[in-house]
Amino acid sequence: MSKSKTANKQDTKPVVLVVDDNQQNLELLQVYLEDVDCRAIPAQDGPEALEIIAKDPPDLILLDVMMPKMSGFEVCRRIKNDPKTSDIPVIMVTALSEFGDIERGIDSGTDDFLSKPVNKLELLTRVKTMLKLKHLTDKLQRTLAYLNEIEKQAQTAKSEPDNRLIKS
C-alpha cells in the first residue's frame, strides 16, 4: 500500500479521546484501545480535553470522573450543552459506585459508564458499540442534510417558470 493510501486510511479511523489525570490509567486505556480500529488521543484533565474537542471533535470520549481542575461531570455537561459537540458519545470511567454519583453522571449527559478497575472486554465492547452508533448517527445526519438540499432544489424548481413552455 502506498504511503498516501496508508495516511488516508489512518485519517478515516474514528478518534477516541481518553481523559484521565492518572498517567497509568491513561496509558492502560490507550493500550486496550489498540485492539480497536481507532486513534486514541490522550488528555490529562478537563480543560485540556475541552480544548482538544473544540479544535477537532473526536468520535467518542472516555472520561474519568474524579480529576483536578474540572470534574468529569462538568466536562460532560459542557460537551452535552454545546450543540456542536452534544452528539459525541461520552463514556464515564469511574471508581465511584454510589447511586448519587451515577445519577449525577446521567444528569450531566453521559451516555454510558465503566467502573474501575476497567475490564478490557467490557471496555472494547462498549467502545465498539458507541463508535458504531456515532458512525450511524453521522451517516443519518448527512443523509438528512442531503434530502433537505434536494427538497430545497425541488421547491426552487417548482417556483420558477418552466422556460421550455414559453415560446418566443
Does residue 109 come out as left (phi exceeding 0), alpha (psi in the -120 to 50 range) or beta?
left
Q: Within a 10 A sphere around the Cβ of 71, how many other Cβ atoms?
A: 17
Q: Within a 10 A sphere around the Cβ of 26, how many other Cβ atoms?
A: 19
Q: Within a 10 A sphere around the Cβ of 126, how many other Cβ atoms?
A: 20
164 — pLDDT class (breaks 50, 70, 90): low
17 — pLDDT class (breaks 50, 70, 90): very high
Half-sphere exposure of 36 (CA within 13 A, CB side): 26
Is residue 18 within 8 A of residue 33, CB to CB? The reply is yes
pLDDT score of 7: 43
Residue with cell 478515516: 12
Residue with cell 490507550: 30
Question: How far apart (Å, rounded) are the C-alpha atoms in residues 141 and 111?
Answer: 19
Amino acid at 1: M
Question: How far apart (Å, rounded) are the C-alpha atoms in residues 139 and 128?
Answer: 16
Give the torsion through C-alpha atoms of 28, 34, 129, 74, to 10 deg: 40
Is residue 30 within 8 A of residue 23, CB to CB? The reply is no
pLDDT at 3 over 60: no
pLDDT at 28 over 70: yes
